[in-house]
Structure 1
């Protein structure tokens, strides 16, 4: 099976025997999934896909002991998250473990040279093709705790935990702010609500503070951990799940689903998660239950809402973002 993505096509042509290596934060690529390596990722959808094929897959937030032959780190769009991965690998794996770092030139992979140098790790360029570059190094002990990447900030009277790679890192997103301004008039004072795509936990914490029974879900393990930390920092309660949209949730029904759904996968536009959120919402809502979501005004969600609910209304539109409300009849 041939590699599908440019970064994996670059790896495929290498003479390195990657059997027994660990793929860290890779893209979806069937060539990788068929290879004899393990997966380390915070992406629930990717973890599930690997496990369904019988592959070894683990999260950085689990307690597995890892001793791979080597590591391939796929450099992410969020450079600070790439730096976190390097710190985590240096802290958790044996010094001297071979390290390859690969990424797209457009995604800033060449910054890795300076990052590795700053950490005191040597580096050499191995190859470049398909507008991607591959660098080689070895892991070593670094006197920086990966947990130092976690920060907090204040918004809406709440303390929010933040981590590189989590949506809205370090600030309140304008779309979320617009959504919050509509919620008070729409939501009941009691009932069960679902925050789908919880990010740093701002919506979950706001809902829990209102007294609603709150469940939060995100496919990104960093977001799940951020939301748990946000709830704890504010003395609030809520269930937080690492899941791909509704997959893995119990057959619970909610009085409302609230969301600022993502539409990017790295730099690519991806309407899939939002589409599944909307299409599956009626089955997860009780009679009279409502979906409240905010999205960029140009996104093609009205047709999806019309198809799923038979109608919807626009609660707010500032030309950049729209807040939609759809009710299960």
Structure 2
């Protein structure tokens, strides 16, 4: 199978024997998934694809004890997250284990030598092509402070936990702010303010889950990212609130029926636009809502959500519109 992404095209032309290597935070790419070795990723969709191909996949934030001849890190758009992956790899792998770092030039890969120098690691450039660059270093075997990258910040009267790689990282997203303002002035279920079983999909740092739990709702929160799942757990704990939190690719691991679903769904995968998760959220939501249950979500004004809402629910209403973002609500018909 041919590589499907520029970084993998660059890797495919290397002389290195990558059999048995650990692939860290890679994109979805059939060339990788059909090869050999294991993956370590916070993205459940990546890990599930590797498992379906019969490959080992680690979706946890701590790498279990593994013996590998080397590791390849795909540099993310967040430099702080890239540094976290590097530090984690260096701490988890035996000293001297080869580590390669690959990324697109527009994604900031050229800053990697400075990042490595700040960690006391050497660095050499191996190759460049397809507007990508490949660097090489090796693990240092130093211990890592697993709590160092975790931070907290305040949003209203809530304390939120955050980590590089979590949506919004350290600030309240404007779309989420509009959604919260709208929820404060509109009950989740039409004509009722009674507590509901509520599902927060794409929970991020947990602000929606925490706010909903504080209103007395029974909250289930999910996200495809292991970083977001842990952030939401920490946010709930920091505010003395309870809720179930799980890693799920939209509804892939969600059981039960809900009185309401609330979401600020993602539409980016790194720098690429990806409408897939949001479309699945809207189209599959009725199957997870009780009769009369509601889907409330916020979206950038240019996104094609109205068509999907109309097709899935037969109608919807716009609760708020500040020209940048819109808050939509659709109701599952009562039989």
What's the CA shift for 1:69? 0.8
Q: Deviations over 1:27-51 (max 9, x none)?
A: 1111101111110000001111111
Alignment-derived partner of residue 231 in structure 1:
236
Counterpart-to-counterpart distance in 2, 1:34 and 1:160: 39
Corresponding residue number in structure 2 for 1:318? 322
Are 2:130 and 1:130 equivalent residues in the alignment?
yes
CA contact (8 A) 1:84 1:146 kept: no
Within-5 A mapping of 1:1-329? 1-61=1-61, 64-142=64-142, 145-184=145-184, 185-187=186-188, 188-250=193-255, 252-329=256-333
Cα deviation per residue 1:165-207 (whole Å; 9 max; x = unaligned)?
1101101111101001111322233110000000000000001
Quick one: distance in 2 between partners of 1:144 and 1:17?
Answer: 29
In structure 1, the gaps of 5 or more residues are none
- Measure how far apart 1:119 and its partner are: 0.4
Deviation per CA, 1:219-242: give whole Å up to 9, x if none. 011101100111111111111110
Task: Verify the 8 A CA contact 1:278 1:304 in the aligned structure 2.
Answer: yes
- Tell me by how many angstroms 1:143 deviates: 6.2
Q: SS of the counterpart of 1:189?
A: coil
C-alpha distance in structure 2 between counterparts of 1:62 and 1:245, whole Å: 23
- Consecutive aligned runs of 4 or more in structure 1 exceeding 3 Å deviation: 141-144
2 CA distance for matches of 1:35 and 1:123? 27
1: CA distance between counterparts of 2:150 and 2:214?
23
SS at match of 1:303: helix
CA contact (8 A) 2:92 2:141 kept: no
**Secondary structure of 2:148's aligned partner:** helix
Kept after mapping to 2: 8 A contact 1:150/1:161: yes
Larger CA deviation: 152-161 vs 142-151: 142-151
Is 57-66 or 16-25 further displaced after alignment?
57-66
Distance, in Å, in 2 between the alignment partners of 1:95 and 1:164 is 25
Give the gaps of 5 or more residues in structure 2. none
Question: Alignment RMSD, CA only?
Answer: 1.1
Between 257-266 and 86-95, the greater mean CA deviation after superposition: 86-95
Name the count of aligned residue pairs.
Answer: 328
* SS at structure 2 position matched to 1:287: strand
TM-score by length of 1: 0.98
Question: Counterparts of 2:146 and 2:63 in 1: how far apart (Å)?
Answer: 15
After TM superposition, give the deviation of residue 144 of structure 1 in Å.
5.2
Deviates more, 1:14-23 or 1:135-144: 135-144
TM-score when normalising by structure 2: 0.96
Secondary structure, aligned partner of 1:55: coil
